[in-house]
């Protein structure tokens, strides 16, 4: 919580500057000076027990990048009395999912029991736990809830050397906080993977009024969590439980089932509205291939450049999958490491061992020019009524290719054919599948090549296969 | 040319540092030359000025408010001391339009004659002709003129005028470039090699000058040059053309050009009308052939009385005529020459049936008669064209010529008051009767 | 591949801040160097160097770019003096501001030369060509200009500007300024002049046209040594003049297409009206008609003949290319002149027309060809 909030008198009508999560005691007597925060009060109104809490002891954010979802876990030390304690928790101008707020005693857990939780009438963004405590004194409690508005994304910077044989790959993660709440000294954990969320948290946060579901907007949903969301939460809790066991305080990127959890070492402060970018890794001398593709059906007449590399040990990578994110690629062009911009793209999630192709856009320095040099319709067959029933088209294609660059490249030309076809050529090629062939030509700097092929396509009764 | 001169601020700033600024107000242009293209709205203006440079870096500002100058076209070139004067770059300063600044490095201190060149729009020129035929329509007097129109917003005074006959290509309109005031973003060039869409081509005017025939008080000499695919006419002396004015200059006048009164009949082209042409050649034998004739409007007249009273024959436009090429002035319908085609017989024969007994092949035979009549008091030539489709065959006693696979031509010289008749038989095969 | 350790700010020390900074503790020092790379056709990369004075510990460096069109995701900082010892811990982005704060850890109080790079939009370049042809149209002087339009919002002072080839320029260009500079000048570059008559786009019978048919006129040159051939020619507008004595006349303009080394550039700049082409199809007969049992023709061959009459009214010889298009499967029977097969459906006659070859001296091309196995659905392009 931001320092400014600490000066706010609790319960005063002054609207919070930004989002503000606070817990207050139910006050009976007027004029009691209240510091921000948590209070536990006895059920009996006669005696008032005012406990001042020193804010959150710890905060942990577990941020998902596939859904607008963050699990917030905070611990606070409360002072309970024996018997029933009332604990109020309110959150103005934040994006907390009210149905997700949970309370748990960390110490004296056997002695502390939540009796029920109520959303008081005519008040928004407030709930109240009735807690039965067999223990009087300080109890460390954990409050857990989902919020939306905090996201993270990965981004990469690839710097190829002049020859485009090796690159330096640097990964970063960027956490953006638009949740309405400032998070200070927070442990940050990032989850890579897809979570199935039935209700968007942002929507839940906005449609929950006064502790009750707006029935018009959420027909069929009772007070509290919808069953679907509960399921999603449960699912996520399970995953996180696993994650917690294997991800203690160390900096770890660990796989958990289909998720991958990154824990950022140390504590970070991200006020609402701010974003923070943290370096994740930096690897030198990753081997790459400057790979060019031409496929009319994909890119028309353009030749598209790719940097191709593998997320594995020989490439000095392979420790972890790489989350999806934006990539900017540069090439070092001078001895003093000045750069040229090569292109920007985004990559999909890259599992360990996978070969990636960064699609960096058109490069006009590599030219492919196909020409149909001859076309013949022959071998005409007639049916019993004298109509044309079968024929064969013979096409002769010539390809001119030219690498105008000062480096060697590899050019991959793909041709798609339909039906019953046969190809004849002097050039080496590879059949990709039933309808596609591929010519892979290594081209030296400034090299020009020509090759041709003959394509026979049989139609009608001439079809043999 | 000088409202614009006054509005242009032309100053010379010396030294890169602004501490010492040497502002030179120029005493107007020394010379101005306009090279005018007509159907492209384009004029190349060249002016020379005398500037005083200092050694080192000089800044030279050029601005042109309220004109139609294309900012991307302005060029600077030293005429004297060219080896010592170098343009480093050209700057279009922020937030102002119609101004540019050259940074010029000079190894020479003193007066330098410089040339400034740019494109402007709003000035055009066109050619027109008067053709006066004699009574028998055998010879004519042909006079050519050029007309310069100035709608550029500027008065041009004491300008040398050059006219270009030819078609140049512009990929962007000068007027549009001028209205931007400073260079805008170039549109991406079309990826394919230029397609030859005729609409996209711009036509350039032709100029013709030449002081021929008619006894002008002081005929100006006009210098003609063939340049690439163009003809360039330089009008001697200096002209003043205020904004909004046009100026017409005689270009040539030639008497006794032989021509033929040529008539054409082609239903697909003119309907039932017979169209008159004056046909002559742009060559020496016709007392022409010194230069191509620019396209332009033609007024055709015919002398009808001994004291040279005229009849109006027609008004038309003539195409550009290269040297040595034949000219046809299209002068409209002349009802004094008549062509009357009549279908005299029609037969369907040689019917073939398919296996189900339906008609699958047939042949049509047509018998045509043409009556032609020249009611005029002069001899003419009549050109009749017929178009046929499909598998056809023609039989005729009259001489004809196959123009191509679908067109034939009968050419008939007709004396004054002469009538003629001719016939042909056309056989056209259809369906399974088709042989070719 | 190790996650960098992220420290809390043990010491929050001296901060260097750029102009327009959000929290100005110390002004970010002036740029020591600016390099602008225009090698990418659609993006401009700026790299600038500054010298920071770092304190021992963690330093916060604030960088902001109000009113400048920087792609925030592209901003990088690199240490040049002690690249291995001075790590960037993290980068923070304040809300609603074009700014960021780097946390940089330094093992000692020291000066650090840093290079800040970013993609800048709004700094656009055009390539402009101007050429003056010799009167004989066999060579021209070609000048190549780079025109920069700085709508990025940023003043660039003494920037090293590179376009991917040739030497860099060192220029200053203020926000809003347009600057044009000559990047190359090639003297006496050989060119050839060619007229191109394409049967697909030009009328066949000029007699039937209201205006004289202009035949497209092009200057052609090859991007190869000795005059060119060092780099790909970039697309841009070319204006062509021709020398007339000590004067010039404008002869037209066209877009230069991207031209790799050893490829040809053809600039279509105007029209010639002194060459007249009349093309007629004088024969188009069906042959070898194959009929079905219903007697309908289902497949046939053709016998076709083109007659192309060409007159050159000029007093000079002229190079003319005649382009013909023949769809489907075809074979030549007879041709009066040699032709080049450009692709399956296109042929070119490359003719030199003698001067004043008109009337009886005109050039006549006859082409007789057969189309085979015609069904009426033949491809004409691919």
Got the DSSP string for C215-266?
EEEEEEEES-TTTS-SSPBPPEEEEEEEEETTEEEEEEEEEEPPB-TT-EEE
**Nearest-by-Cβ selection for A371 from C37, C343, C372:** C343
* Segment C269-327, tens digit of pLDDT: 999 999 999 999 999 999 999 999 888 899 999 999 999 999 999 999 999 999 999 99
Q: What count of other Cβ atoms lies within 10 Å of the Cβ of residue A110? A: 9
Contacts of B178 (CB under 8 A, 6+ apart): B67, B68, B69, B70, B71, B120, B121
* Residue A321 or C29, more confident: A321
A302–chain C Cβ distance below 8 A for any pair: no
Q: What is the pTM of this model?
A: 0.83
Which CA distances in Å does A172 have to B179, C2, C87?
48, 12, 14
The residue ranking higher by pLDDT, A358 or A50, is A358
A: neighbours with 3+ CB pairs under 8 Å? C
Q: Which among A339, A396, A402 has the least Cβ separation from residue C260?
A: A402
C62 CB-side CA count, 13 A: 22
Residue A254 confidence (pLDDT) above 90: no
CA B105, B111, B114, B120 torsion: positive or negative? positive
Whether the pLDDT of residue A197 is over 70: the answer is: no
Set of chain C residues whose Cβ sits within 8 Å of the Cβ of B191: 257
C197: number of Cβ within 10 Å:
25
**β-bridge partners, B311:** B302
CB contact (8 A) between residue C39 and residue A340: yes
Q: What's the pLDDT at A124? A: 81
- pLDDT, tens digit, 9 for 90 and up, residues B321-364: 999 999 999 999 999 999 999 999 999 999 999 888 899 899 99
Q: Does C250 sit within 8 Å of B44, measured CB to CB?
A: yes
Confirm if C257 and C265 have CB atoms less than 8 A apart: yes
Whether A236 shows a pLDDT value over 60: the answer reads no
CA torsion through residues B371, B376, B379, B381, sign: negative
Under 8 Å between Cβ of B243 and B152: yes
**What tokens does A427 get?**
């050039």
- pLDDT: is B7 or B333 the higher one? B333
**What does the alpha-carbon distance between residue A183 and residue A202 come to, in Å, rounded to a whole number?**
18
B1: pLDDT strictly greater than 60? no
Q: Do B405 and C276 touch (CB under 8 A)?
A: no
Q: What is the pLDDT of residue A121?
A: 86
- Cβ-in-10-Å burial (0-12, 13-18, 19+) of A451 comes to middle
Residues 6+ away with beta carbon under 8 Å from A347: A156, A322, A324, A325, A327, A356, A358
Q: Measured between beta carbons, which residues in chain A are less than 8 angstroms from residue C1?
A: 281-283, 316-317, 319-320
Cα–Cα–Cα angle for A200, A204, A206, rounded to 5 degrees: 120
Residues of chain C contacting residue B285, judged by C-beta atoms under 8 Å apart = none
By C-alpha distance, the chain B residue nearest C214 is: B167
Q: Return all residues near C66 (Cβ < 8 A) that are at least 6 apart.
A: C20, C97, C98, C99
Calculate the dihedral angle through the C-alpha atoms of A441, A444, A446, A450, rounding to the nearest 10 degrees.
-30
Per-residue pLDDT of chain C (382 residues; tens, 9 = 90+): 332 222 222 223 333 333 333 333 444 678 899 999 999 988 999 999 999 999 898 888 989 898 999 999 899 999 999 998 999 999 999 998 899 999 999 999 999 999 999 999 999 999 999 999 999 999 999 999 999 999 999 999 999 999 888 788 999 999 999 999 999 999 999 999 999 999 999 999 999 999 999 999 999 999 999 999 999 999 999 999 999 888 899 999 999 999 999 999 999 999 999 999 999 999 999 999 999 988 889 999 999 999 999 999 999 999 999 999 999 999 999 999 999 999 999 999 999 999 999 999 999 999 999 999 999 999 999 8
**A250 phi and psi angles, rounded to 5 deg:** -70, 170
> Using 50, 70 and 90 to split pLDDT, how confident is the model at A207?
low
Which of B38, B1, B43 has its CA nearest to residue B240? B1
Interatomic CA distance for residues B270 and B268, integer angstroms: 6
Q: Is the pLDDT of residue A419 over 50?
A: yes
Calpha distance C351→C215 (Å, rounded): 14
Closest to B169 (Cβ–Cβ): which among C137, C254, C274? C254
Q: Is the pLDDT confidence value at A45 over 50?
A: no
CA A277 to chain C, closest CA, distance in angstroms equals 5
Selected for mutation to probe chain C from A379, A387, A393, A402 (highest C CB count within 10 Å) is A387
- Local structure of A249: helix, strand or coil: coil
Note the residue count of chain A.
Answer: 465
Q: What is the pLDDT of residue A250?
A: 31
Interface check for C23 against chain A (CB to CB < 8 A): the answer is no
pLDDT at residue B11, rounded to an integer: 43
Query: Can you say how many angstroms the Cα of residue B60 is from the centroid of all Cα atoms in its chain?
Result: 39
Q: Which residues pair with C128 in a beta bridge?
A: C145, C237
Q: Which chains reach chain C with 3 or more Cβ–Cβ distances below 8 angstroms?
A: A, B
> Is residue A316 within 8 angstroms of chain C, CB to CB?
yes
Helix (H, G, I), strand (E, B) or coil at B325: coil
The 3-state DSSP class for residue A29 equals coil
Six-digit token string for C119:
């993609």
Residue B308 DSSP code:
-
Nearest residue of chain A to residue C93 (CA atoms): A275
User: Percent of chain B beyond pLDDT 70?
Assistant: 86
| Bond before A56 cis per omega within 30 degrees | no
Rounded to an integer, what distance in angstroms lies between the CA atom of residue A4 and that of residue A11? 15
Backbone torsions φ then ψ of A77, nearest 5 degrees: -105, 120
- With cut-offs at 50, 70 and 90, classify the pLDDT of residue B28: low
DSSP-derived 3-state class of residue B269: helix
CB A193 within 8 A of CB A254: no
Q: For residue B71, what pLDDT is reported?
A: 94
Dig out the tokens for A30 from the structure: 């007027």
User: Which residues of chain B make contact with C242, given a CB cutoff of 8 A?
Assistant: 227-228
> What Rg value do the Cα atoms of chain B yield, rounded?
31
Tell me the Cα Rg of chain A: 32
Nearest to A5 by CA among A76, A84, A93: A93
Q: Does C37 touch chain A (CB under 8 A)?
A: yes
| Residue B182 with chain C: CB contacts under 8 Å | 178
Which of 343-382 (A) contact C at CB < 8 A? 343-344, 364-365, 367, 371-378, 380, 382
Kind and range of the H or E element at C101? Answer: strand C99-106
> Rounded to a whole number, what is the distance in Å from the CA of A168 to chain C's nearest CA?
11
- Can you tell me the distance from the alpha carbon of A133 to that of A140, in angstroms, rounded to the nearest whole number? 13
pLDDT of A258 reads 63
The string of pLDDT tens digits covering residues C107-140 is 999 999 999 999 999 999 999 999 999 999 999 9
For residues A78 and A38, the answer to whether their CB atoms sit within 8 Å is yes
- Residue A38 DSSP SS3: coil
- CA B52 – CA B80 distance, rounded (Å): 12
CA nearest to C144, candidates C238, C219, C264: C238
- A290: tokens are 């400057």
Q: What is the pLDDT of residue B260?
A: 93
Residue C128: what pLDDT? 96
Tokens matching residue C253: 């303009």
Option in A251, A326, A330 nearest C3 (CB): A251
Per-residue pLDDT tens for A120-173?
A: 888 888 888 888 889 998 899 999 999 999 999 999 999 999 999 999 999 999
Select the more confidently predicted residue: A320 or A231. A320
Please identify which residue in the block is written with the tokens 């409050």.
A143
- What is the per-residue pLDDT for B235? 85
Rounded to whole angstroms, the Cα distance separating B263 from C35 reads: 74
pLDDT of residue B250: 86
Q: Cβ of C236 under 8 Å from any chain A Cβ? A: no
CA A438 to chain centre: 34
Strands B296-303 and B123-133, how do they pair? parallel
Q: What are phi and psi of A69, to 5 degrees?
A: -150, 130
- Distance, CA of A445 to CA of A453 (rounded, Å): 24
Between B186 and A393, whose confidence is greater? A393
HEC sequence for A191-219: EECCCCCCCCHHHHHHHEECCEECCCCCC
B350 CA: distance to closest CA in chain C (Å): 16
ipTM confidence score: 0.87
Measured CA to CA in angstroms, residue A272 lies from A148, A190, A412, B102, C294 at distances of: 12, 18, 48, 51, 83
Residues of chain C contacting A270 with CB distance shorter than 8 Å: 92
Question: What's the gap in Å between the CA of B57 and the closest CA on chain C?
Answer: 14
* A317 touching chain C per CB within 8 A: yes
Tokens of A191: 């989850």
Higher pLDDT pick, B190 / A156: A156
A275 CB neighbours in chain C (<8 A) are 92-93
Say if C289 is an interface residue toward chain A (CB within 8 Å). Answer: no
Report the pLDDT value the prediction gives residue A204, as an integer from 0 to 100: 60
Q: Are the C-beta atoms of residues B336 and B382 closer than 8 Å to each other?
A: no
Partner residue opposite A341 with nearest CB, options C43, C73, C78: C43
Residue C329 and residue C378 in contact, taking contact as beta carbons nearer than 8 Å: yes
Compare A355 and A235 and report the one with higher pLDDT. A355
Subunits with 3+ C-beta pairs closer than 8 A to B: C
Contact B192, A300 (CB under 8 A): no
* Count of other CB atoms within 10 angstroms of residue B193: 14
**SS3 label, residue B184:** coil
How far is it, in rounded angstroms, from Cα B261 to Cα B133?
A: 10
How many Å lie between the alpha carbon of C366 and the closest alpha carbon of chain A? 22
Q: Is residue C206 helix, strand or coil?
A: helix
User: DSSP letter string over B193-255?
Assistant: PPP--GGG------------SS--SSPPPEEEEEETTEEEEEEEEEEEE-TT-EEEEEEEEEE
The CB-based long-range contact list for A112-119 (8 Å cut-off, 24+ gap) reads A112/A80, A112/A139, A112/A141, A115/A84, A118/A211, A119/A210, A119/A211, A119/A212, A119/A223
Residue B412 DSSP SS3 = strand
Question: C196 and B323: CB-CB below 8 Å?
Answer: no
């Amino acid at each position: 919580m931001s320092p400014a909030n600490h000066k706010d008198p609790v319960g005063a009508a002054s609207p919070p500057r930004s989002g503000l999560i606070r817990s207050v005691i139910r006050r009976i007597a007027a004029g009691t000076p209240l510091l921000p925060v948590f209070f536990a009060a006895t059920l009996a109104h006669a005696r008032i027990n005012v406990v001042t809490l020193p804010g959150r002891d710890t905060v942990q954010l577990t941020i998902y990048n596939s859904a607008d979802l963050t699990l917030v876990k905070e611990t606070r030390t409360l002072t309970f009395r024996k018997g029933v304690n009332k604990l109020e928790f309110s959150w103005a101008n934040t994006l907390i999912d009210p149905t997700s707020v949970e309370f748990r005693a960390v110490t004296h857990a056997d002695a502390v029991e939540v009796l029920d939780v109520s959303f008081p009438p005519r008040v928004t963004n407030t709930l109240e736990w009735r807690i039965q405590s067999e223990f009087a004194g300080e109890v460390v409690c954990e409050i857990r809830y989902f919020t939306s508005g905090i996201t993270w994304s990965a981004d990469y910077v690839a710097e190829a050397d002049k020859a485009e044989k090796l690159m330096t790959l640097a990964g970063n993660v960027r956490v953006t906080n638009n949740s309405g709440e400032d998070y200070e000294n927070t442990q940050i954990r990032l989850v890579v993977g897809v979570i199935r969320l039935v209700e968007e948290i942002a929507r839940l946060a906005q449609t929950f009024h006064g502790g009750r579901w707006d029935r018009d907007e959420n027909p069929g949903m009772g007070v509290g969590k919808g069953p679907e969301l509960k399921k999603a939460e449960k699912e996520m809790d399970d995953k996180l439980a696993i994650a917690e066991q294997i991800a203690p305080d160390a900096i770890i990127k660990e796989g958990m089932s289909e998720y991958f959890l990154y824990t950022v070492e140390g504590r970070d402060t991200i006020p609402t509205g701010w974003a923070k970018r943290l370096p994740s890794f930096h690897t030198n001398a990753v081997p790459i291939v400057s790979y060019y593709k031409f496929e009319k059906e994909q890119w028309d007449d353009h030749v598209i450049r790719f940097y191709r590399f593998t997320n594995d040990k020989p490439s000095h990578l392979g420790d972890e999958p790489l989350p999806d994110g934006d990539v900017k690629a540069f090439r070092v062009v001078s001895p003093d490491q000045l750069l040229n911009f090569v292109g920007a793209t985004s990559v999909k999630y890259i599992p360990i061992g996978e070969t990636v192709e960064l699609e960096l856009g058109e490069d006009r320095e590599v030219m492919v020019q196909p020409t149909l040099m001859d076309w013949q319709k022959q071998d005409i067959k007639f049916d019993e009524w004298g109509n044309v029933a079968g024929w064969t088209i013979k096409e002769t294609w010539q390809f001119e290719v030219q690498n105008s660059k000062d480096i060697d490249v590899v050019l991959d030309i793909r041709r798609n054919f339909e039906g019953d076809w046969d190809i004849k050529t002097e050039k080496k090629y590879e059949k990709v599948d039933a309808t596609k062939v591929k010519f892979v030509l290594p081209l030296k700097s400034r090299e020009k090549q020509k090759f041709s092929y003959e394509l026979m396509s049989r139609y009608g009764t001439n079809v043999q296969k | 040319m000088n409202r614009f001169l006054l509005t242009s601020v032309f100053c010379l700033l010396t030294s890169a540092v602004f501490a010492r600024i040497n502002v030179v107000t120029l005493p107007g242009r020394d010379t101005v030359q306009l090279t005018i293209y007509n159907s492209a709205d384009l004029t190349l203006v060249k002016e020379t000025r005398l500037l005083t440079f200092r050694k080192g870096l000089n800044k030279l500002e050029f601005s042109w408010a309220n004109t139609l100058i294309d900012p991307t076209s302005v060029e600077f070139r030293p005429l004297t001391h060219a080896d010592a004067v170098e343009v480093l770059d050209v700057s279009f300063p922020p937030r102002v339009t119609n101004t540019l600044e050259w940074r010029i490095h000079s190894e020479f201190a003193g007066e330098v004659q410089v040339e400034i060149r740019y494109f402007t729009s709003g000035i055009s020129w066109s050619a027109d002709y008067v053709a006066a035929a004699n009574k028998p329509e055998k010879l004519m007097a042909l006079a050519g003129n050029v007309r310069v129109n100035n709608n550029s917003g500027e008065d041009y005074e004491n300008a040398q005028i050059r006219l270009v006959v030819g078609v140049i290509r512009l990929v962007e309109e000068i007027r549009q470039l001028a209205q931007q005031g400073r260079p805008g973003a170039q549109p991406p060039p079309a990826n394919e090699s230029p397609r030859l869409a005729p609409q996209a081509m711009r036509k350039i005017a032709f100029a013709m000058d030449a002081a021929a025939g008619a006894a002008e008080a002081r005929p100006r000499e006009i210098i003609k040059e063939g340049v690439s695919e163009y003809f360039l006419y330089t009008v001697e002396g200096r002209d003043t053309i205020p904004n909004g004015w046009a100026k017409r200059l005689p270009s040539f006048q030639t008497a006794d050009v032989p021509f033929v009164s040529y008539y054409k009949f082609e239903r697909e082209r003119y309907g039932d009308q017979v169209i008159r042409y004056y046909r002559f050649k742009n060559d020496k034998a016709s007392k022409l052939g010194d230069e191509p004739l620019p396209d332009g409007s033609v007024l055709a007249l015919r002398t009808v009385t001994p004291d040279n009273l005229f009849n109006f024959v027609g008004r038309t436009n003539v195409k550009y005529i290269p040297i040595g090429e034949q000219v046809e002035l299209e002068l409209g319908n002349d009802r004094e020459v008549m062509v009357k085609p009549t279908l005299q017989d029609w037969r369907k024969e040689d019917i073939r049936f398919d296996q189900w007994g339906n008609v699958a092949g047939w042949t049509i035979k047509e018998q045509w008669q043409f009556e032609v009549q020249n009611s005029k008091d002069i001899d003419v030539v009549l050109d009749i064209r017929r178009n046929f489709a499909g598998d056809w065959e023609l039989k005729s006693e009259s001489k004809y010529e196959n123009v191509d696979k679908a067109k034939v031509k009968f050419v008939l010289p007709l004396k004054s008051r002469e009538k003629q008749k001719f016939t042909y038989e056309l056989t056209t095969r259809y369906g399974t009767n088709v042989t070719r | 591949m190790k996650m960098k350790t992220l420290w809390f700010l043990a010491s929050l020390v001296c901060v260097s801040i750029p102009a327009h900074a959000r929290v100005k503790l110390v002004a970010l020092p002036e740029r020591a160097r600016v390099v602008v790379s225009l090698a990418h056709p659609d993006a401009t990369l700026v790299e600038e160097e500054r010298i920071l004075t770092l304190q021992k510990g963690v330093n916060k460096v604030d960088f902001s770019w109000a009113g400048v069109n920087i792609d925030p995701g592209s901003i990088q900082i690199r240490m040049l003096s002690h690249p291995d010892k001075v790590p960037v811990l993290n980068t923070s982005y304040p809300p609603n501001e074009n700014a960021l704060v780097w946390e940089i850890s330094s093992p000692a109080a020291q000066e650090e030369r840093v290079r800040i790079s970013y993609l800048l939009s709004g700094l656009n370049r055009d390539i402009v060509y101007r050429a003056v042809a010799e009167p004989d149209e066999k060579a021209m002087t070609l000048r190549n200009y780079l025109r920069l339009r700085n709508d990025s919002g940023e003043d660039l002072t003494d920037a090293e500007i590179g376009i991917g080839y040739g030497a860099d320029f060192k220029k200053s260009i203020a926000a809003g300024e347009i600057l044009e500079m000559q990047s190359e000048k090639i003297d006496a570059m050989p060119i050839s002049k060619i007229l191109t008559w394409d049967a697909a786009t030009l009328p066949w019978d000029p007699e039937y046209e209201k205006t004289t048919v202009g035949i497209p006129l092009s200057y052609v040159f090859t991007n190869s040594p000795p005059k060119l051939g060092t780099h790909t020619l970039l697309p841009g507008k070319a204006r062509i003049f021709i020398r007339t004595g000590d004067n010039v006349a404008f002869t037209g303009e066209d877009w230069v297409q991207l031209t790799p080394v050893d490829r040809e550039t053809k600039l279509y700049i105007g029209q010639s009206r002194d060459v007249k082409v009349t093309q007629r199809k004088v024969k188009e007969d069906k042959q070898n008609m194959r009929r079905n049992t219903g007697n309908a023709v289902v497949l046939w061959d053709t016998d076709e003949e083109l007659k192309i009459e060409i007159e050159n009214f000029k007093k000079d010889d002229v190079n003319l290319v005649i382009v013909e298009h023949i769809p489907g499967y075809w074979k030549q029977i007879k041709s009066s002149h040699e032709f080049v097969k450009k692709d399956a459906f296109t042929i070119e006659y490359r003719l030199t027309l003698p001067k004043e070859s008109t009337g009886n001296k005109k050039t006549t091309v006859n082409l007789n060809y057969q189309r085979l196995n015609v069904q009426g659905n033949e491809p004409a392009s691919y």
